[in-house]
Structure 1
């Protein structure tokens, strides 16, 4: 029995033109005693290591993207998973919890110089005014597979889509709302519209927030715009003052009208009642006159004389002639001035 070291010549003696690499491999196997079962054991060990290399772990802030022969096969959630070993399948780990932001104040700077224009920052509002708007878009990866393979240059596509969404919302919003009270509504509508477009394109991006940074008229017309705003403020102030005056004077006028109407109704009711009373008294007198002409006529005569003489002055005539003129004025007691009692 020959030694393994003497069965084959040393590898230095092998000619490269006579299959030398195979001779070297066989020499190494014999040298380490890997003939037969040892060789099978080595092959099995290497196979186990190769198969076990497909086990991988995805962290809680990541998603795993598995590529099969270079093509996107699936996306895996956090945890332990298995893939076919290399080179059949490959793994890409992508962080999906990090919040990224995109500033749209200088989107025109990303264009070539021959395409750049300051008018790219200007937008037309719903009432046909021009404003310059800036905003910040906060986003994160929603689906790593879609983010990597569905859209070419996803961040650039996000920039273009965000600009288009902002222009679309500004074009449906009056300038006053966009610059003051409607800013939050503009931001929310922009976020919703942008998210819808990204979902339609399967971009794998989630918009978390859109913040409006600045909405101003162009610098070339800012003075004229401020004059218009001051005029509108004066108009609003005058309208408010007129409304306040109307709120003060109208209730007073309505109250005075109600008072006059009530007085008129009271006078009408009083006059009608007096007239009805006079008519009733006249009917009673007529009935009495129809039954007793002379008595009723004499009573009416006496009532008339009594009413006539009630306010007439009175004199006393002394027929004895002892007074100078014989006429003595009569002074009623109720007409005498009050005398102080001591």
Structure 2
């Protein structure tokens, strides 16, 4: 043996064989001269020591077995306690069958293998990209044309990139756990289908300009209805358009057409503005001319009516005294004809010089400046 002592002190590393110090590592000396320890003896001694630790005088029967079984049962039952965090909902299962949900805090369910608990996160906002894939530090990243190209109602193609933000419905978390095998793939397929349905009912011009907000609202509503019908237990929070534009090969041509259409609209608006200013002015001038003509007509009719009435009155008086009326008409006519002219009165009877003295009262009453203006240069020099 390797540990034999040639000087006679021998016995191996645990002392002399057979002597007081000749004990093996398990409390007894080696059996026979240098043979290895008996494994069965070692197991038997270990079993005896375990029996000494058990109640009932080292016997596994009776109360000892019951106590051992109860202890194991209690430890197993205590493993059924679990904690639900504020952002989670506990879904309790017994033999794989759903039995109910539990809120936040310390909860209990039968431990494995009889029971189990699934705790999905019901507050995390999940984002799904359709039509593109973002990359860290690169913005929108690369386009996925098989998802983004969609047909419009006027048979044009539009390139759409959009996001869908969703979360687990806290009230139906069990539906999300049991009914969706691939949540990301299912929600993405529903989002793409809903967007194609909405785009297929609109013209491309409205999609690119005025109806983007209504498109996202309609897509979100269709997605929510579809996922509810599947029993998905998902809430669709936001659908947001990232980009809406014509496909790359025809993008520049489309922008040129759009610019031409905008120019046409601008020119039409300018023409309508000019018409809205000129037409009222022309209508006002026409109305003013018509009113002036009507006023002139009324005035002419009134004057003619007055003259006719005056003539009738004169005629009535003339029938009663024709001589007097004839003389009066003559005098009034002469007064009207020669009333404003210079006059020289001559006596036709031939008495005297034939010129009747005349006092020009009207000339004396007029201002001196107007008399001087009426005098000729020769008269002015004679006066000086």
Q: Do residues 102 (structure 1) and 153 (structure 2) align?
A: no
Counterpart-to-counterpart distance in 2, 1:270 and 1:28: 145
Question: Given the alignment, which residue of 279, 287, 290 partners 1:258?
Answer: 287
Judging changes above 3 Å, is the alpha-carbon distance between structure 1 residues 284 and 322 closer, same or farther for their aligned structure 2 residues?
closer
Distance in 2 separating the partners of 1:185 and 1:47 = 61
User: Aligned equivalents of 1:247 and 1:217: distance in 2?
Assistant: 37
Q: Which of 212, 218, 230 matches 1:189?
A: 218
For residues 83 and 319 of structure 2, what CA distance do their matches in structure 1 show?
Answer: 128
Relative to structure 2, which stretch is displaced further, 128-137 or 141-150?
Answer: 141-150
- 1:55 counterpart = 2:81: yes
How many Å separate the matches in 2 of 1:69 and 1:202? 22
Q: Which moved more, 1:181-190 or 1:94-103?
A: 181-190
Residue aligning to 1:132: 159
Matches within 5 A, 1:1-342: 12=40, 30-35=51-56, 36-106=62-132, 118=145, 120-142=147-169, 143-310=172-339, 314-315=343-344, 333=363, 339=372
Deviations 1:285-316 (A, max 9, x none): 23323443433333233323333333566445
Alpha-carbon shift at residue 62 of structure 1 (Å): 0.7
Q: How much does 1:121 deviate?
A: 2.9
Q: How many Å apart are 1:95 and its aligned residue?
A: 1.0
Distance 1:28 1:202 in 2: 60
In the alignment, what sits opposite 2:139?
A: none
Q: Note closer, same or farther for the CA distance 1:81–1:276 as it changes in structure 2 (3 Å cut).
A: farther
Number of equivalenced pairs? 312
CA separation of 1:46 and 1:291: change in aligned 2, threshold 3 A: farther
Task: Give the Cα separation in 2 of the matches to 1:280 and 1:80.
Answer: 117
Partner of 2:27: none
- Where does structure 2 lack aligned partners over 5 or more consecutive residues? 1-38, 57-61, 134-143, 374-384
TM-score, normalised by the number of residues in structure 1:
0.77
Distance 1:292 1:28 in 2: 176
Distance 1:150 1:167 in 2: 25
TM-score, length basis structure 2: 0.69
Tell whether the 8 Å contact from 1:62 to 1:94 is kept in structure 2 after alignment: yes
In the superposition, relative to structure 1, how do residues 289 and 338 fare at CA in structure 2: closer, same or farther (>3 Å)?
closer
Name the SS of the counterpart of 2:219 in structure 1: helix
CA distance in 2, matches of 1:321, 1:171: 122
If asked which structure has higher relative contact order (CA below 8 Å, sep 6+), I would say: 1
Q: CA RMSD in A?
A: 3.7
